[in-house]
Each structure stands twice: as C-alpha cells, then as structure tokens.
C-alpha cells in the first residue's frame, strides 16, 4: 500500500484516479511515498526517507525545493498545459483591463450608490474612463509555451499584431502558432516595438527582474505590461517609478505584493490564473496519473528535475536507477547486472542537467545486483518493480 499525502485540497476527480486497494490518500497521511500539492510551500518540510515523488498540480514549482529533491532521488512532476486555457482567458481579460479603464469605471459607479438619477450621472461621467481598442495594436508575448502560445493565438484572433520570443521554443509549440505571428530576434525587439507586453515564462535566475529600469527604458512611452506568470519577473520599485513617470501606463499582475497593492496604475488580480474549476480538475487528474504511472512502473513523464524516460513493460523485473549525470555511469550499471549473470532485455536512459535516470528490464532483479548498483558512486536511489 502506497501513501499519498495531499498538501492542499486536491480536486476529487484527480484523487479518484488512485486505486484505493493500492493507495492510501489523504491530508493526514504519514510517511508519504508521494505528495500532491498546489500552492503550499514545501521548502521547510522535512521529507521522510520513503518519499519517492512530488506532483505539483500546476506548472510553477517555486514552492518546491526542486534541487534538494533531485539530490535525494525524489522526482518532481508538474502539469504543463493543464491550466493553460484558464490562464489564456484571464490574459485576454487582462489585455482588456489594460486597454480600457474598466476597473476604475466600476469603482466610480460604486460611489454613486444612494444618489438620484444614477443613469444620467453615468452618462455624464463615463468620458473619464474612455480607453483604447485592441484591434491593430502590437502585442509582444515573451514565452511561447503552452500558455504563451495560446495567448498569442487569441490576441491574433482579436486583430492584434502579435510578435513573440522564446529562446526555448519547441517545434511542437511553433507548429501550434498562427502563421501570422512573428518571432522576434530577442527580448529587446519586443521591448522597443510593442504597445502591450505579456510575460509567460517561469521565474529563474535569468528571468527574474527581466522588466526593470533598464528594459523599461527601451520600451515605448505608455506601454502596457501584463504579468500572469510570477511576481519576480518584474521589479516592483522600477515599475512603480515608470508608472509615476507615465513611461508605463498600466501594469496588470496576477501576483499582488506589499509593493503593488493600491499602487497607482497597477491592477492587482488575486492570483486567479488557474483558479477555474476546469483548470483545478485538469491539473489534479494529470498530476494523479503521472504519480500513478511512476509509482507503478517507474516511467517518468513531465518531471522538472529528472529526464522524461518511459519504457513499455515487457520483462519480469524492472530496475530504475536515479543517478548523477557523470561519465561511465551506464557502463557501471550494466556491469553490475552482468556480474550476476543477468541479461538486460530492455533499457532506457536519459539525462537532465546534473541528473540522469536509467530503466533496465531483466529476467530477475537479483538482490546482489541491486545492492551493487546502489553502491556505485553517483547513484542516488534504486527502485525495483
């Protein structure tokens, strides 16, 4: 019986994927073999030795100590694309909120409560909230993955001129883009030429503060910036200064902080990007299926700290090895099987940064071979199925 600990309320449609004759699932589970989490922070959590995997019901994993998990042979999964439509729709909303002062207008109407002739007052005062149309405006999309690509296509359908940049653009993502979407030569081209800029990249050392005093200086006067990805992508002090100077006309963020709440020119959305019932269901189902597959077979799909490695089960026994991505590891692993007279019937291997993963299928997972593999320098964990 495997123990699955829930760190947040996870949609039942997701946890229903676990066969309860094989899994014990709940928030009060101890000695977890796996964890499912949404927004709860795991950085201060002490992981028990039995823990094999963590599944994040969402794309961002900044609430998980990913590197620490990798060093301890714990696979971290996420669910890319599962909430993409929900975030895309909010991005379209954010574009409209940036173009037209809908928020300011709504707040003003609320001040009319109790007055006579509200309809006439509205007609008289509405001119203060006139905005622009999106049609014909130029949108720069930074990050063209599952979400950014959908945002680019949606804006294109609204009649915007769309230009995107993603240094890690995959062929699959490129094929999904509308043919009229132009690929920029770099971030600077977007900064210099766009009326609207929307960010759809993870927070990494290279993307943190990508919108700052220096990059804002390159932008068009009155640019509108949308950030539904992570607060760290935008330097709050610099964006407020730019708003005060009218260099930036509007900043819409889905990640309010002490620096942005009630700040002039900033529209704070309370992290609603993936907060739809459909997104929560999709993420929970995807995360549960990935955990189930890994715990049953050792196959890895959508990991952020280990390579995606899968192999159809065809032999009696399967040995999965998590190890450092260093020379001679594969030869040492295969030699350990050979030393015990075991023939490897199927093998799959992959690497991701400093870490690698090997699946080997044999007729029998002899204890001696498994012990010898675990003793190899650089091996982090060995699992048998």
Percent over 90 (pLDDT), the chain: 92
- Vertex 48: Cα angle to 42 and 51 (nearest 5): 80
Torsion angle of C-alpha atoms 219, 225, 227, 232, degrees rounded to 10: 40
Options 1.20.1420.30, 3.10.310.40, 3.90.1150.10, 3.40.50.720; CATH for 1-82+274-305 is 3.40.50.720
Q: Mean per-residue pLDDT for 210-221?
A: 98
- Decide whether 84-99+133-268 matches 307-385 in CATH topology: no
Task: Assign 51 a pLDDT band (cuts: 50, 70, 90).
Answer: very high
Kindly report the backbone phi and psi dihedral angles of residue 276, in degrees, each rounded to the nearest multiple of 5, phi listed first. -125, 150
- Give the pair of three-digit tokens for residue 159: 């009649």
pTM: 0.81
Q: Residue 274 pLDDT more than 90? A: no
Q: Residue 60 pLDDT more than 90? A: no
- Give the pair of three-digit tokens for residue 124: 């008289």
Polymer length in residues for the chain: 385
Closest CA to 61 of 268, 199, 204: 204
Distance CA 367, CA 52 (A): 20
What is the pLDDT at residue 202?
87
DSSP letter for each residue of 129-154: G----STT-EEEEE--SHHHHHHHHH
DSSP letter for each residue of 263-318: -TTEEE--S-TT-SHHHHHHHHHHHHHHHHHHHHH----SBSSS--------SSEE
Q: Mean per-residue pLDDT for 31-36?
A: 96
Q: Mean per-residue pLDDT for 40-59?
A: 94
Distance CA 100, CA 263 (A): 18
Percent over 70 (pLDDT), the chain: 100
Distance CA 298, CA 71 (A): 18
- Residue-wise pLDDT for 287-324, tens only, equals 999 999 999 999 999 999 999 999 999 999 999 999 99
Distance CA 262, CA 265 (A): 9
Distance CA 300, CA 103 (A): 44
- Give the count of beta carbons closer than 10 Å to the beta carbon of residue 16: 13
Integer-rounded Cα radius of gyration of the chain? 25
Task: Assign 203 a pLDDT band (cuts: 50, 70, 90).
Answer: confident
DSSP letter for each residue of 43-104: TTPPPPTT--EEEESSS--TTS-HHHHHHTT-EEE--TTTTHHHHHHHHHHHHHHHHS-HHH
Q: Residue 356 pLDDT more than 90? A: yes
Q: Mean per-residue pLDDT for 120-137?
A: 96
- Per-domain residue ranges for the chain? 1-82+274-305, 84-99+133-268, 307-385
- Give the pair of three-digit tokens for residue 135: 């049609």
**25 and 6 Cβ atoms separated by less than 8 Å:** yes
Homologous superfamily (CATH) of 307-385 is: ACT domain (3.30.70.260)
**Architecture of the domain spanning 84-99+133-268:** 3-Layer(aba) Sandwich (3.40)
């Amino acid at each position: 019986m495997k123990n699955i600990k829930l760190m947040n309320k996870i949609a039942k449609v997701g946890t229903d994927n676990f066969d309860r004759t094989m899994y014990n699932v709940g928030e009060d589970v101890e000695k977890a073999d796996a964890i499912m989490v949404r927004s709860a922070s795991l950085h201060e959590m002490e992981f028990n030795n039995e823990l094999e995997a963590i599944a994040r019901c969402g794309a961002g994993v900044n609430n998980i100590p990913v590197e620490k998990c990798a060093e301890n042979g714990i696979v971290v999964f996420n669910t890319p694309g599962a909430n993409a439509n929900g975030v895309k729709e909010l991005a379209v909303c954010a574009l409209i909120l940036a173009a037209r002062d809908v928020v300011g207008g709504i707040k003003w109407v609320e001040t009319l409560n109790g007055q006579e002739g509200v309809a006439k007052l509205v007609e008289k005062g509405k001119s203060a909230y006139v905005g622009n149309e999106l049609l014909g405006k130029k949108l720069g999309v930074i990050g063209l993955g599952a979400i950014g690509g959908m945002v680019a296509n949606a804006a294109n359908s609204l009649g915007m001129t769309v230009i995107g940049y993603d240094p890690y653009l995959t062929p699959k993502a490129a094929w999904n883009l509308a043919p009229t979407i132009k690929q920029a030569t770099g971030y600077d081209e977007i900064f210099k030429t766009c009326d609207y800029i929307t960010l759809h990249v993870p927070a990494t050392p290279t993307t943190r503060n990508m919108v700052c005093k220096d990059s804002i200086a390159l932008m068009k006067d009155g640019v509108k910036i949308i950030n539904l990805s992570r607060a760290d992508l935008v330097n709050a002090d610099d964006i407020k200064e730019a708003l005060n100077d009218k260099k930036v006309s509007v900043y819409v963020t889905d990640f309010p902080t002490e620096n942005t709440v009630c700040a002039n020119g900033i529209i704070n959305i309370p992290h609603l990007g993936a907060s739809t019932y459909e997104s929560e269901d999709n993420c929970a189902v995807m995360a549960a299926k990935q955990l189930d597959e890994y715990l049953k077979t050792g196959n890895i799909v959508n990991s952020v700290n280990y390579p995606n490695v899968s192999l159809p089960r065809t032999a009696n026994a399967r040995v999965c090895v998590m190890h450092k991505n260093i020379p001679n590891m594969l030869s040492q692993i295969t030699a350990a099987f050979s030393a015990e007279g075991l023939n490897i019937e199927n093998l799959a291997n992959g690497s991701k940064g400093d870490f690698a993963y090997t699946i080997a299928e044999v007729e029998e997972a002899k204890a001696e071979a498994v012990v010898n593999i675990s003793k190899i320098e650089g091996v982090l964990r060995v699992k048998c199925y």
